[in-house]
Amino acid sequence: MSALRVLVTGSSGFVGAALVRYLLRDPSTHVIAAGRRPAACVDGAEFRLLGELGAGEPAVELFADVDVLVHAAARVHVLRDDCADPLAEYRRVNVAGTLDLAHAAARAGVKRFIFVSSIKVNGEESRPGMPFTAQDQPAPQDDYGISKLEAEIALRRLSAQTGMELVIIRPPLVYGPGVKANFLGMMRWLQRGLPLPLGGLKNSRSMVALENLVDLLAVCVRHPQAADRVFLVADGDDLSTSELLVRLGRALGRPARLLSVPEPLLRGLLGIAGLGRIRQRLCASLQVDIGETCRLLGWRPPVTVDAGLLEAARHFQGRTC
């Protein structure tokens, strides 16, 4: 029986590289890493050159003999975007670039297209006791989330026209070895032992360990029930910001020094400082319901939050010592 041929875009990125390594564990899967730099290819994977997303439709030959395409490449979300027109740039890469890939893949006979989207399609915060579900009306509030929603809509249209199966995965914050951005900033603060005025926060936020995300993606590569569905993914153990810092500090071996500043005061101070987006991420709740994902796919997150935090902490300390 021939191996299932799976092509992964963004194969040198945080999620893509981890997925390539994960898929290589299965001898029945032939893994193809698509990217712009052969030197960044994971050992053991076939490499195929992929041009810049949004620069035009790639050659159909890129997808020759490919059964499943996992699209993990994207223009990622950043808090401070210095681009003159961020929405236009997100659309060029995340919408037009994604559709270019999908059109070429459909013409080449790719059977399944797995799109790594974002929980930002649902919105920036969930109401108390009402976690996001895949059936919720989308309500993106920033340019990145808007671009991901527009890509989802266009992909559904193309799937209906061509018969290429579509699987959409919407992860919340992804953490793990090599994580960057705000999560990396938290580890740096904790490592330095600096006090943080976040001990009074009682919110609840879902996250997903990198290994849990790539495990679900690997399940969706083959599972028949995954076709033409949207799945939310998380660890299944929601934490307040203060709880996250305590457990992350434990993983780092650096107990969190948290000051219990009343939340209204904290929100006000962050607002005065012009840090409204950071305030939302620190103080608001964003919960994800993974019940349908688990039920339909027979899936459970294989890694606990504490195990995922420990892996992230070990990698961080290994890089900084």
Catalytic pick from 22, 90, 144, 175? 144
Collapsing DSSP to helix, strand or coil, 178 comes out as coil
Nearest alpha-carbon partner for 23 in 33, 14, 13: 33
Collapsing DSSP to helix, strand or coil, 146 comes out as helix
Q: Are 181 and 215 in contact (CB under 8 A)?
A: no
Both tokens of residue 321? 């010592």
Nearest alpha-carbon partner for 205 in 296, 258, 299, 132: 132
C-alpha 210: how far from chain center: 8
Nearest alpha-carbon partner for 246 in 310, 178, 212, 199: 199
Nearest alpha-carbon partner for 162 in 248, 97, 80, 69: 69
298: left (phi over 0), alpha (psi -120 to 50) or beta: left
Collapsing DSSP to helix, strand or coil, 42 comes out as coil
Both tokens of residue 224? 């028949």
Could you confirm whether 90 is annotated as catalytic?
no
Q: How many CB atoms lie within 10 A of CB 92?
A: 17
Helices and strands per DSSP (H, E), number in the chain: 11, 9
**Single-letter residue type at 85:** D
- Rounded to an integer, what distance in angstroms lies between the CA atom of residue 320 and that of residue 314? 10
Active site residues: 144
